C-alpha cells in the first residue's frame, strides 16, 4: 500500500480497515461497510438513490442518511409508478412534512423524475439497463477532487455525459456532481480506497455481478 493511500485509510482496534471519510460516525460506517459502492440493479432502489442524491445537494449526506426512512415513507418507498401520480395536494403535504427536507424544487423534481423513470423503463426495459450502460472504463480520468482531500473525484467525464443525457430526457436536480455521487453510491464505480476492506469485498461481488442489458 502506498503512503498516499494509507493517509486516507483508518484501521480500528478490531483490525478493520476503512476509508477514513466514514470513521467518525457510526451511521457512516454502516453505510460504508454495507451499501456504498455495492452494485444495485433494482429500479426502485436506483430511483431512490437518484432522488436522495438530489435532496442532498447543498447539504451533508449524513443529514439525508438519517432521514432516509422518512423519505421512504413520504415517497411510497420510491415506487416511481406511484410518485408520478402525486399532485399539488401531495406537494403541500410534503412541504409540511418536518421529517424530510422541505424544498419545493427538490420535491417537484422527484415527482417529475418519477414520470421520466417510467419513460426510461418503457424505452430500455428497466432503469437499471439504462444506468449500467454508463459504466465507465476503470481508468477514466478524474476531473475534480471531491469534498475531502482524497484522490476521489466529484466530477468525471462520464458523470458529465450522464447528467447531460438525463437533463435532455427531462430529469431535474441531477448535475454532474450529483451524477458522480450516484455512480459511487450504486456501484457503477468502486471508489473505496485501495487497502480498504470493502474495496476487496466489492471487487468480489462485481466478478459475479451481471449488469442488465437494455431490451431495445
Residue 170 · residue 37 · CB < 8 Å: no
Question: CB under 8 Å, gap of 24 or more: what pairs does 143-146 form?
Answer: none
Q: Is 61 a catalytic residue?
A: yes
Radius of gyration of the chain (CA): 18
- Residue 180 CA to residue 174 CA, distance in Å, equals 10
Query: Closest Cα partner for 80 from 106, 119, 41?
Result: 119
Q: Is 180 a catalytic residue?
A: no
Residue 108 · residue 91 · CB < 8 Å: yes
Residue 173 · residue 54 · CB < 8 Å: yes
Which candidate in 36, 61, 132, 171 is catalytic?
Answer: 61
Which candidate in 53, 130, 132, 171 is catalytic?
Answer: 53
Helix and strand counts by DSSP (H, E) for the chain? 12, 4
- Residue 120 CA to residue 126 CA, distance in Å, equals 7
Q: Is 148 a catalytic residue?
A: no
**Catalytic residue IDs:** 31, 53, 61
Amino acid at each position: 500500500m502506498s503512503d498516499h493511500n494509507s493517509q486516507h485509510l483508518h484501521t480500528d482496534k478490531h483490525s478493520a480497515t476503512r476509508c477514513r471519510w466514514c470513521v467518525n460516525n457510526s451511521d457512516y460506517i454502516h453505510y460504508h461497510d454495507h451499501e456504498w459502492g455495492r452494485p444495485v440493479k433494482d429500479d426502485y432502489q436506483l430511483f431512490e438513490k437518484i432522488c436522495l442524491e438530489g435532496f442532498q445537494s447543498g447539504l451533508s449526506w449524513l443529514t439525508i442518511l438519517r432521514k432516509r426512512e422518512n423519505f421512504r415513507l413520504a415517497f411510497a418507498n420510491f415506487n416511481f409508478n406511484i410518485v408520478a401520480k402525486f399532485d399539488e395536494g401531495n406537494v403541500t403535504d410534503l412541504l409540511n412534512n418536518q421529517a424530510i427536507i422541505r424544498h419545493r424544487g427538490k420535491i417537484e423534481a422527484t415527482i417529475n423524475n418519477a414520470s421520466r423513470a417510467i419513460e426510461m423503463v418503457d424505452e430500455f426495459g428497466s432503469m437499471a439497463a439504462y444506468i449500467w450502460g454508463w459504466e465507465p472504463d476503470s481508468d477514466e480520468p478524474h476531473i475534480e477532487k471531491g469534498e475531502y482531500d482524497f484522490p476521489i473525484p466529484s466530477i468525471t467525464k462520464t458523470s458529465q455525459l450522464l447528467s447531460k443525457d438525463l437533463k435532455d430526457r427531462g430529469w431535474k436536480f441531477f448535475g454532474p456532481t450529483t451524477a458522480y455521487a450516484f455512480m459511487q453510491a450504486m456501484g457503477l464505480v468502486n471508489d473505496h480506497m485501495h487497502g480498504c476492506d470493502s474495496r476487496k469485498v466489492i471487487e468480489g461481488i462485481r466478478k459475479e455481478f451481471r449488469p442488465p442489458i437494455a431490451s431495445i
